Structure 1
Amino acid sequence: MGIRIVNGEVIDPAHGEDRVKRDVHIKDGKIVADAGQDATVIDATGCVVMAGGVDIHTHVAGPKVNFARLMRPEDHRYEHVSREDGYERSGTGGVAATTYTTGYRYCEMGYTTIVEPAVPPLGARHAHEELVDIPQVDKAIFTLLGNSEIIFQYLEKGETSKINEYISWIMDATKSYSVKIVNPGGANMWKYRADIHDIDQKLRDFDTTPRQIILAIADAMATLGLPHPLHLHCNNLGVPDSYKTAIATAEAMEGRPLHLTHLQFSSYGASGKRKFSSEAPRLARMVNDNKNITIDVGQVLFGKTTTITADGPFEYHLHKLTGSKWYNGDVECEDGCGVVPYDYKRKSFVNCIQWAAGLELFLLIDDPWRVYLTTDHPNGAPFITYPHLIRLLMDKDFRREQVEKISAEAAAEIPLKVLDREYTLYEIAIITRSGTARRLGLVNKGHLGVGGDADVAVYRASRNWEEMFAKPAWVIKDGQVVAKEGKVTRQVFGTTMYVHPARGFADIEKDLADFFESYYTVNINNYPVGLEYLPRPELIPCQVKA
């Protein structure tokens, strides 16, 4: 039996629809032209109807997330879900929620697709085992390759075809969707208690630079036709003048497609008395001028969280700044990891600059199709704060009230205080679903056109934007109503999306066998992740240009 949503106002930017009064028909898990006479009717009077949300960057699975859970046991005391509350599985919440809770909370905000953007290849099996236990949403992972010593060796020898072949092999071996680079070259330097400070700085153990790493991987991804372009966490993140590195990186791409992730953390300058300032306006101009670049913001919001990243040197720096407990890890020949709990405070000058910088990026980047809503969960804030962030973007009076509450010294310096722009519902739909789906290359998501996946969120229209987006009236996943009035009513499991790029660029079997034998603790035959770890696999085709 199908579903017909009637009397609602459809907001579907992918088809240019802005509060269009029309019915939405659903059958067999898809948007259809006519659901039939026996369809269940949902009366959406007074509601706006959008596609399900698509989160392009959220840390929800894999080894680093489990370390974050272990480091903050006290955080799990304050929120629980249980069968007594109507859920099928129990769990704990907090900033690093358990798997089932993660899926429930996303669903209860109207999200139906999420991407775990930073999984070392050796941790892929672990990540997939966790993704299986995240209900209510479709999922995918990005593989970390910016510190791969195999790629570094091929770069030294100028063996481009072998880089292409290796990335194709590793994507298949990890059942990943795209490639993430974090602080390229930084993990190699961190082995010697050093870091990368410039994209043309040579690595300690290899005759290569971050610029060469970035361009080689970006070119390989284009050759393979991966649906999402290079997803990049810049060098020099989180420090004064980090914006210069971000701009240099963007310029180095020379028109190649690039997604700069959590750009807020790379938007700092060294101006003012404190030698720490927001340079978000400069980065916004850079994005406006370079149509090949998209970003997600990685917004900071005030409160306690846990920072988790493959940028080991940054986490050590944060640990020394705060005195907080710290986890540091090295993933054999692939990458690193760091975890540090953190508290963003309204009266901290630095934290207020960070908060403002993210909002400035949102408000100063002209094209909403190229800037996406994230908090780099949980680094800037937990994903459950998205409704609050949406209110900050849509309500300038509320935003000004919040500026009045922060450090007066910071408030006097931030460009944010003079920005009057307010996002519309149409623009919110772009930055939370239509735009992210398009940049991910998910042609069946982020829209309500015929043939699209029947992932739908119905929100009761209200001028209290935070309340509106916190509790959708109905959420539909794969054609089934799975939540009502902000509460999960049915547990379902989505797919895990992955790609299978073409092979045959070069013969690397002996190279890999020798490398694994010499440097890895696992046998190469035990390394690849089989499809049995993806009980609901969804193969997304690569788009190789002729």
Structure 2
Amino acid sequence: MTEILIKNGFVVDPKNKINCEKMDIAIKDNKIVKKVNDKNAQIIDASGLTVMAGGVDIHSHIAGAEVNTGRIIRPEDHYKDPVRKTPITRAGTGYSIPSTFVTGYRYAAMGYTSVFNGSIAPMKAKHAHEELNDIPLLDKGTYILTGDWWFVLENLAKGNIDECARLVAWLIHSTRGYAIKVVNPGGLESWGFGRNVHSIDDQVPNFCITPREIMRGLIKVNKKLNMPHTIHLHTNNLGVPGNYQTTLDTMKALEDLSTDGKPVAHITHVQFCSFKGENWRKFKSGAEDIAKYMNNHTHMTLDMGQVTFSDTTTMTADGPFEFSLYELGGHLKWVNSDVETESSGGIIPFHYKRNSPVSALQWSIGLELALLINDPWKIFMTTDHPNGGPFYDYPKVLAWLYSKKAREATLKKCHKSARKKSLLPSIDRELSLYEIAIMTRAGTAQALGLPNKGHLGVGADADVAIFNINPETLDIAQKYRTARKAFANAVYTLKDGIIVAKDGQIVNSQVPGRTIWVDAQTKDPCRIDDDMKRKFKEYWTIEYENYPVTDHYVKISDKLAIKASV
């Protein structure tokens, strides 16, 4: 049995209300335990260092057809950042879209141990799981695009929530998914006819249903299935000036579905849907309005979608949005996809620049949201990798969150129009290590419904990150560059009680990580009748029998079995 004792570190563990307390953390096999035998245990001296749970990323595009297509269309992205093979690690490529192994290495170097993939179309699930298997050092899960799946739309239009729930349970099980993903509800189906929806009450072609009804219906489905995570929602009108009103309308439309005050939906990359203004010339921040609403309600959680000023690759199931971005920017490369009866998609290379008034204000909006929303359990740190910037820019984002000085230094380099419109000069808040641990670990694990992640209590998974930050001697707000370097290069990262990274370098690349997925067990099974099989034959390029992901596609399976109420 492997025993490790992490001694004398400053432990930051918000779930257990531990704030920079000097204490020991004991590990036996792959779990946090109360104590170990000091004589037998490997000792890690964490004196003068900060100890947190391994990072848990709630939204990052790391696998699937859109990610792989993004790699294919961007050879220049690979040339920019080649990764050489070492005796321990494999070679790889990719600046904004790293190859699978490099993705695992770079996350582990920063102290991350769990990452959830932003979306996959059900029909593309087999390929996505092959990529997830390839990513080492991380536990992984993926969200399944459900909001525009024909069987869902048909049953929600009929008001048949129970049958819809059984179908969704079958879908999540068949694709080995973790949560219900809804992107531009109704808009993806509309895109198959060259159209879009522009409010939550527009009609979706052919189905006599609205985005409002899709979102509310799937929240009811989610509740009936007792899913660990809320619906994971990408709102309508993403990336369009004035869309903050659509976001507020969406939040208000879902208020009454929270009967216990707990979240019923998670709005992802909220920066991209917090825009005010009638057009791009009049573009300004809607962060204050969104934050005010969030400070007075508890039925939503959010993640940032922070822009980091980089040459990156935008990719989303929101095909209409990507087409609008293509027209707006006049880009030469654009991939469009209509995934049969399930989803759409688009991919465009994009460069966020400080001297662009729009990009610079987008950068400001993400930070404004995170700093103006008082409760860090409501909003989490992401870049919507790679849409706002690559995930390994997280240390930069953290520096902007915990240091006003860092924000001021960046804002000075931004376009003067963005400087005038930015709310950041009026915001003095600087996040503490405790709040950062919530936004990157404890809060994300809680929102995902993962009781063994994001904390260092007895029984938790032995996923640990140790950083070269002494809270007694280092003022991270003033010495933000020193702290940023520390977050970029964890002194130690432990995955399942095994040291996988030391001083930002991978020392063990053979820990594969698990794929976490949900098996929602319904009282009555989904009725796979002849009509459903006929539709697969007529409308899908994959036969019903070949559609589900079989066990051999998931290398190390971590099935979360839950009892549904239907």
> TM-score by structure 1 length?
0.98
1:189 maps to 190
- Once residues 175 and 497 of structure 1 are traced to their aligned partners in structure 2, the CA distance between those partners, rounded to angstroms, is 8
Number of paired residues? Answer: 545
Partner residue in 2 for 1:496 = 515
User: What is the CA-CA distance between 1:534 and the residue it aligns to?
Assistant: 1.2
Does residue 296 (structure 1) correspond to residue 341 (structure 2)? The answer is no
Asked if the contact 2:276/2:284 (under 8 Å) is kept, the reply is yes
* Equivalent residue, structure 1, for 2:336: 328
Say whether 1:9 aligns with 2:10. Answer: yes
After TM superposition, give the deviation of residue 474 of structure 1 in Å: 0.5
**CA drift at 1:93:** 2.8
* In structure 1, C-alpha distance between the alignment counterparts of 2:12 and 2:67, rounded to whole Å: 34
Q: Distance in 2 between matches of 1:220 and 1:231?
A: 13
Aligned to 2:59, what secondary structure does the other structure show?
Answer: coil
* CA deviation vs aligned residue, 1:265-285 (integer Å, no higher than 9, x gap): 000010699221100010011
1:181-222: per-residue Cα shift (whole Å, max 9, x none)?
Answer: 000111221122221100010012211111111111111011
Structure 1 residues 269-278 or 483-492, which shifts more? 269-278
**1:222 to 1:126, Cα distance in 2 relative to 1, 3 A:** same
- DSSP-derived class of the 1:136 partner: coil
Deviation of 1:510 (Å): 3.1
How big is the shift at 1:155?
2.3
The alpha carbon displacement at 1:512 in A equals 2.0
Contact 1:474 1:485 in 2 (8 A): yes
2:71 aligned residue: 69
From 25, 41, 45, the counterpart of 1:43? 45
C-alpha separation in 1, matches of 2:49 and 2:135: 28
| 1:484 counterpart residue number | 502
1:519 aligned residue (533, 536, 539): 539
**Alpha-carbon displacement from aligned partner over 1:23-44 (angstroms, at most 9, x marks no partner):** 0001110001112230000001
- Equivalent runs, 1:403-414 vs 2, <5 Å: 403-414=411-422
The root-mean-square deviation of aligned C-alpha atoms, in Å, is 1.4
Read off the aligned partner of 2:461 and give its amino acid letter. Answer: D
Residue identity over aligned pairs, in percent, reads 43
| Range moving further from structure 2, 223-232 or 525-534 | 525-534
Runs of at least 5 residues in structure 2 that lack an aligned partner in the other structure: 258-263, 477-481
Q: Tell me: CA distance 1:308–1:502, structure 2 relative to 1, closer, same or farther (3 Å).
A: same
Distance 1:271 1:335, change over 3 A: closer
Tell me the distance in 1 between the aligned counterparts of 2:253 and 2:140.
31
Structure 1 CA distance, aligned partners of 2:291 and 2:104?
33
Q: Does 1:469 align with 2:487?
A: yes
Q: Map of 1:454-465 to 2, 5 A cutoff?
A: 454-461=462-469, 462=474, 463=476, 464-465=482-483
> Is residue 188–residue 205 contact of structure 1 (8 Å, CA) maintained in 2?
no
Aligned letter for 1:75?
D
Instruction: Tell me whether 1:537 sits opposite 2:557 in the alignment.
Output: yes
Picking from 51, 55, 59, the partner of 1:57 is 59
Q: TM-score, normalised by structure 2?
A: 0.94
Give the structure 2 partner of residue 386 of structure 1.
Answer: 394
- Give the letter aligned to residue 364 of structure 2: A
Q: Secondary structure at the match of 1:469?
A: helix
Structure-to-structure mapping, 1:333-482, within 5 angstroms: 333-461=341-469, 462=474, 463=476, 464-482=482-500
Farther off after superposition, 433-442 or 182-191: 182-191
Say whether the 8 Å CA contact 2:255–2:299 is kept in structure 1.
no
3-state DSSP of counterpart to 1:7: strand
Moved more, 36-45 or 187-196: 187-196
Instruction: State how far apart, in whole Å, the 2-side matches of 1:59 and 1:101 are.
Output: 14
Which amino acid in the other structure matches residue 501 of structure 2? A
Give the Å deviation of 1:358: 0.3
- Structure 1: runs of 5 or more not aligned: none
Task: Tell me the secondary structure at the aligned position of residue 375 of structure 1.
Answer: coil
Moved over 4 A (4+): 543-546
Does residue 141 (structure 1) correspond to residue 142 (structure 2)? The answer is: yes
Residue identity opposite 1:531 in structure 2: D
